[in-house]
Amino acid sequence: MHVQEWLETIPAVAVYVLVGVVIGLESLGIPLPGEIVLVSSALLASQHGDIDPYVLGACATAGAIIGDSIGYAIGRRGGRPLLAWLGKKFPKHFSEANIGLAERSFQKWGMWAVFFGRFIALLRIFAGPLAGVLHMPYWKFLIANVFGGILWAGGTTAVIYSVGIVAEAWLKRFSWLGLVLAVLIGVASMLIIKNRAKKAAAEQAEAPEREPVAVAD
């Protein structure tokens, strides 16, 4: 069953809670499909009046900010052994190549890595724990976390909700064209993501090994 079809079977309150919890756990460092759940819920809100997009966006934002903050605290306390443990539990996401790529992003961009990382699936999972492991000052992390969470969660909800309302009427007339377009966009996105992932893994393999550098105060 498709995510959106399943969401239609549960009450609006349960949708709000589910979105907040899934996004919170993803931000904490557990690889869950937070973005898929948020997008599906926002589309559902555009089709059914019982789901308030403002409440949905607020729950998503709260989950993102709180989850990232908990992840930061866990990372700061657990340090490098935490990343090694996560690598054993989730080898696909917390591989050495992915960790190295995330570390280089944090060392180079600092707060901006936390802020813009919210919009990138890999960094969205790493942001909280890795910022803690690298001992980024909490006030810097908090600022980037709050503004990134609001823009990503609130912005995604608003855009998908608005597009969903417009698209629903349009797709009723050109449903077959919409289906073809959705498939083409999905395939293109998948190929682009796979290509970038391969390039990142290749660069990490070629780069000399080095000790991680803590983020400067």
212 domain residue, yes or no: no
Domain count, the chain: 1
Tokens 């699936």 map to which residue? 121
> Is 22 inside a domain boundary?
yes
Whether residue 60 is contained in a domain is answered as: yes
What residues contact 13, with CB distance under 8 A and at least 6 apart? none
Task: Let me know if residue 217 belongs to a domain.
Answer: no
Per-residue pLDDT of the chain (217 residues; tens, 9 = 90+): 466 666 777 788 999 999 999 999 988 878 788 888 888 888 888 877 788 999 999 999 999 999 999 989 988 887 777 777 767 777 666 677 777 777 777 777 778 888 887 887 777 887 888 888 888 888 989 999 999 999 999 988 888 888 776 655 554 454 445 545 555 655 565 566 556 656 655 665 565 554 454 554 4
111 domain residue, yes or no: yes
- Residue 216 falls within a domain, yes or no? no
Q: What pLDDT does 22 receive?
A: 93
Residues 56, 62, 63: CA angle, nearest 5 degrees: 90
Is the pTM above the cut of 0.75? Answer: no
Residue 101 lies inside a defined structural domain of this protein: yes
The answer to whether position 175 is within a domain reads yes
Quote the domain boundaries for residue 179: 3-206
What b/e sequence results for 100-132 when a residue is b if at least 16 CB atoms lie within 10 Å of its CB, and e otherwise?
Answer: bbbbbbbeebbbebbbbbbebebbbbbbbbbbb
